[in-house]
Structure 1
């Protein structure tokens, strides 16, 4: 390093590698942009409620009414609150003291037709020749059911059955006989059959659950009848009966209240007439005493 040029390296003394690296770092541009901050997350209770959220809460309230957890007045008040709610925080207090019956029912239904680890059971054969045959209640539905009715009747009720597999095929033959099939509302019902001088009526139904089992009815009816349709659950019938009983009790209470009010009006009118007659009698007696004096 030369002393005459103030300690700066001259042409004969080039800068070292460390000094070159320091100069390159000094020449790097400075980032003047500011890092954007994310907006604060919205609390779950402040989220806007959708129509599906309101319908889900309303379904829980309907089941609570059917089970007797709510009376009709409480149910009406809460339903009004549900359809007026705008956020999830306004929906949550409505069902805070109720079990999530809708989710429990859906989970129970899915468990009822969850595929089992074992192999499918043997075919179920139902034969009715000048007689009647039925299969109902809680039972494991096999993959194939064969029903034959000759001058007889066969009843197949799957509303309480457990479905180890996703598809059940029912082969029916009705000759001068009848075959009646009932399935739950939460499954898919299909048919491929015909009637020969008879009726083959299958009410096709599509389940909203993509994992729901499928029941396919095949066969024919010769001078007979085959009928298959979904069956409403017991809780719907209970709800209808409860509403009917509630309306009947309300009419009875209104009738009794009207009778009591009418009786009270008659008593008040009778007392008013008696008091009026007593006042007239008193005035007449005073008048007679005055005339006699």
Structure 2
């Protein structure tokens, strides 16, 4: 028996509607302006019937190929590579950065004295479900970028410092968890995403649209 639309979990309905919007836009059924307008409405909606109304005139449904592309785009990169040594990032009156595709060990240590450190997990390759990040920041600035599917637990002790956690989560059940602990004294630690979830949806939709066009040309 099919569950009535108003009785279904709203996040499940929202995901279904956003998938249908992306799929129809990528196939040229709706314009970029209509797609972004409806996407904004879908992300803000608090009613299942309102959500379904956004795709009531769209016939195309997301297929298995779409779901595979989406999984590849929005799931964390996992690897069986052996990288169990702890990572140490240090900055004293300078700057340090780790970004791109790098293998994330189980333990990461950041030491920052009057400097700046950027730690970017956006394209990182995970091999552990639980990662511990130890922060020791004195009069410095740490910026930590995490993708939407990564959980962040902050246990940082701040003394006349600033700690901001602006991270979000797209799929908490399947993503790794980063626990951040340590201390910040007269410094700052900011945890955030490089792109908003809307920007990531739009980017994904445009990449699918380009792929679909190329496929039709060949």
Instruction: Answer whether TM exceeds 0.5 for this pair.
Output: yes
Structure 1 Cα separation of the partners of residues 195 and 143 of structure 2: 15
Structure 1 Cα separation of the partners of residues 99 and 25 of structure 2: 25
Select the structure that is richer in helix. Answer: 1
Q: Does the 8 A contact of 1:123 with 1:142 survive in 2?
A: yes
Give the alignment partner of residue 117 of structure 2, picking from 132, 145, 154.
154
TM (normalized to structure 2)? 0.67
Q: Does the 8 A contact of 1:148 with 1:174 survive in 2?
A: yes
Deviation at 1:54, TM superposition (A): 4.9
Give the alignment partner of residue 148 of structure 2, picking from 178, 185, 188.
185
Query: 4+ residue runs of structure 1 moved beyond 6 angstroms?
Result: none
Q: What corresponds to 1:83 in structure 2? A: 52
Q: Does 1:209 align with 2:169?
A: no
Q: Gaps spanning 5+ residues in structure 2: where?
A: 43-48, 206-218
Give the alignment partner of residue 70 of structure 2, picking from 105, 119, 125.
105
Deviation at 1:48, TM superposition (A): 6.5
Q: Does the 8 A contact of 1:66 with 1:238 survive in 2?
A: no
Give the alignment partner of residue 14 of structure 2, picking from 23, 34, 55.
55
Deviation at 1:149, TM superposition (A): 1.2
Structure 2 Cα separation of the partners of residues 73 and 223 of structure 1: 45
Q: Gaps spanning 5+ residues in structure 1: where?
A: 1-41, 243-293
Give the alignment partner of residue 71 of structure 1, picking from 11, 31, 43.
31
Secondary structure of 1:186 counterpart: coil
Q: Does 1:200 align with 2:159?
A: no
Deviation at 1:217, TM superposition (A): 0.8
Secondary structure of 1:137 counterpart: coil
Q: Does the 8 A contact of 1:188 with 1:207 survive in 2?
A: no
Number of equivalent positions: 188
Root-mean-square deviation (CA), in Å? 3.9
Q: Does the 8 A contact of 1:57 with 1:95 survive in 2?
A: no
Q: Does the 8 A contact of 2:151 with 2:172 survive in 1?
A: no
Q: Does the 8 A contact of 1:171 with 1:219 survive in 2?
A: yes
Deviation at 1:203, TM superposition (A): 4.3
Once the two structures are superposed, residues 214-241 of structure 1 have per-residue CA deviations (whole angstroms, 9 ceiling, x without a partner) of 011111111111121344358616839x
Aligned positions of 1:120-269 closer than 5 A: 120-203=83-166, 208-233=171-196, 236=199, 239=202
Structure 2 Cα separation of the partners of residues 176 and 164 of structure 1: 32
> Based on CA coordinates, which of the two structures has the bigger radius of gyration?
1
Structure 2 Cα separation of the partners of residues 133 and 66 of structure 1: 41
